[in-house]
Amino acid sequence: MTRTKGERTRERIIEAAAPLFNQRGFVGASMADLMAATGLEKGGIYRHFKSKDDLALAAFDYSLTLHRAKIRGQVECHTGAVNRLTFLAEAMAGVAGTPAVPGGCPLLNTAVETDAADTESYVALRKRTRAGMRNLIRYAQGIIEAGAESGELRADVDAATEAAMIVATMEGAMMLSRLYDDRSYAKNAAKRVAAHAAQLARRTSPSRKQK
Amino acid sequence: MTRTKGERTRERIIEAAAPLFNQRGFVGASMADLMAATGLEKGGIYRHFKSKDDLALAAFDYSLTLHRAKIRGQVECHTGAVNRLTFLAEAMAGVAGTPAVPGGCPLLNTAVETDAADTESYVALRKRTRAGMRNLIRYAQGIIEAGAESGELRADVDAATEAAMIVATMEGAMMLSRLYDDRSYAKNAAKRVAAHAAQLARRTSPSRKQK
């Protein structure tokens, strides 16, 4: 389906706004910044978006969609729960150095910016962030559950908690890597997650071990 | 030493500004917010601080000092490395629910806000944040090194990496707890850190195990 000129302009505005919001935050990205990045006047932007909130939400969705596609792409060319968790952690570590949109993980950025959620704009953005983070945690949880079902992982694994802890560790490490501009924090965290995932695997049964 | 009236006013401004900056961020806390919180006119604030940057740095230092004192207080009434790491993680988890200054961990907040560091104000604030985070990581590292030296922990423990991973895990979990207004993420992370700390302990020697 051919997009109209208006739709193409709308997409171009989102693509230009996304790195600004992801780097500077919702409040930090000013209307002047947005005008400079898009090359449009205020009126030109407002012809396509009701408000700055409206543009911020579209930009957040865009950043999140790109990051999600990149991460899932890196995970889904592997099979097995331990492998997939390992590559999920590595893909998240990659966001610290080469994010799909400049500024790092959009979920981490908006989670921290909107957690007080004391304005209407923040409430709307936090709602999206909660949903996006939940998707990420459930994605990890699904890998673990599939592994428990197939017998690769221990049957008694607490998939929801394990998944949340993987996400917490990787997001915290990404924060350190970005703060110090040093990828080793995220890389070390990915190694930890991989080692922990291996521990969730069922022990080889004694009969097989003895061959 | 008695403080002058000017010094007391300066402190009162910092105490009123700290929760604003910690909740809304450096850019998000506007001059109007600061005036409303302190009950002072712009001129009254600028009599004590050269600029908004100057006040933001003082407020950050204040929030950080209170959090540090609270956390170290909770750690240092315990002895032994495993115990201290356990209570460090618990104290950090406590920041998610009952921070010393509203808004949660000031290091996490400013790390995420300033990581692009594309303005002079952000560069100054990031410098403080880097130093503060380094102090926190080195504090954990010091506990681990003391444990390795006393023989409580394994001698080959990589104290710097372990310390950074504890901080990453707890900061990431605090972020999730604040995003969902649910302390369980931070509590679960503290349990993980405690379990991991116990694994760093030297195995009881066989002779003692057999009694």
User: A181 — phi, psi (to 5°)?
Assistant: 50, 50
- Residue B210 pLDDT grade (very low, low, confident, very high; cuts 50, 70, 90): very low
- Per-residue confidence (pLDDT) for residue A209, from 0 to 100: 41
- Residue A205 pLDDT grade (very low, low, confident, very high; cuts 50, 70, 90): low
- Per-residue confidence (pLDDT) for residue B209, from 0 to 100: 42
pLDDT greater than 60 at residue B156: yes
Q: Verify whether the Cβ–Cβ distance A188 to B165 is below 8 Å.
A: yes
- Per-residue confidence (pLDDT) for residue A119, from 0 to 100: 82
- Give the type of residue at B41: E
Distant-in-sequence, close-in-space partners of B70: CB < 8 Å, separation ≥ 6 = B91, B94, B100
d(CA A194, CA A199): 9
Answer whether A192 touches B (CB < 8 Å).
yes
The overall longest dimension of chain B from CA atoms, in Å, is 74
Q: Verify whether the Cβ–Cβ distance B28 to A113 is below 8 Å.
A: yes
Q: Verify whether the Cβ–Cβ distance B167 to A169 is below 8 Å.
A: no
- Per-residue confidence (pLDDT) for residue B160, from 0 to 100: 98
Of the candidates B24, B174, B30, the residue with the CA atom closest to the CA atom of residue B104? B174
Residue A35: how many other CB atoms lie within 10 Å: 14
- Pick from A25, A171, A185: which is nearest to B113 by CB? A25
Name the DSSP class of B113.
H
- Residue B129 pLDDT grade (very low, low, confident, very high; cuts 50, 70, 90): very high
pTM for the model = 0.94
pLDDT greater than 70 at residue A40: yes
Q: Verify whether the Cβ–Cβ distance A192 to B108 is below 8 Å.
A: no
Of the candidates A33, A147, A11, A170, the residue with the CA atom closest to the CA atom of residue A91? A170
Answer whether A168 touches B (CB < 8 Å).
yes
- Residue A115 pLDDT grade (very low, low, confident, very high; cuts 50, 70, 90): confident
pLDDT greater than 50 at residue A207: no
Q: Verify whether the Cβ–Cβ distance B111 to A179 is below 8 Å.
A: yes
Q: Supply the mean pLDDT for chain B.
A: 93
Query: Six-digit token pair at A63?
Result: 């950043």
- Per-residue confidence (pLDDT) for residue B208, from 0 to 100: 45
- B171: closest chain A residue by CA: A172
d(CA B173, CA B191): 12
- Residue A83 pLDDT grade (very low, low, confident, very high; cuts 50, 70, 90): very high
- Give the type of residue at A136: L
pLDDT greater than 60 at residue A13: yes
- Rounded average pLDDT over B33-61: 95
Answer whether A103 touches B (CB < 8 Å).
yes
Nearest-10 Cα torsion for A102, A104, A110, A115: -150
Residues in A touching B28 (Cβ below 8 Å):
25, 27, 113
- Per-residue confidence (pLDDT) for residue A187, from 0 to 100: 98
Distant-in-sequence, close-in-space partners of A194: CB < 8 Å, separation ≥ 6 = A82, A85, A86, A89, A90
- Rounded average pLDDT over A37-56: 95
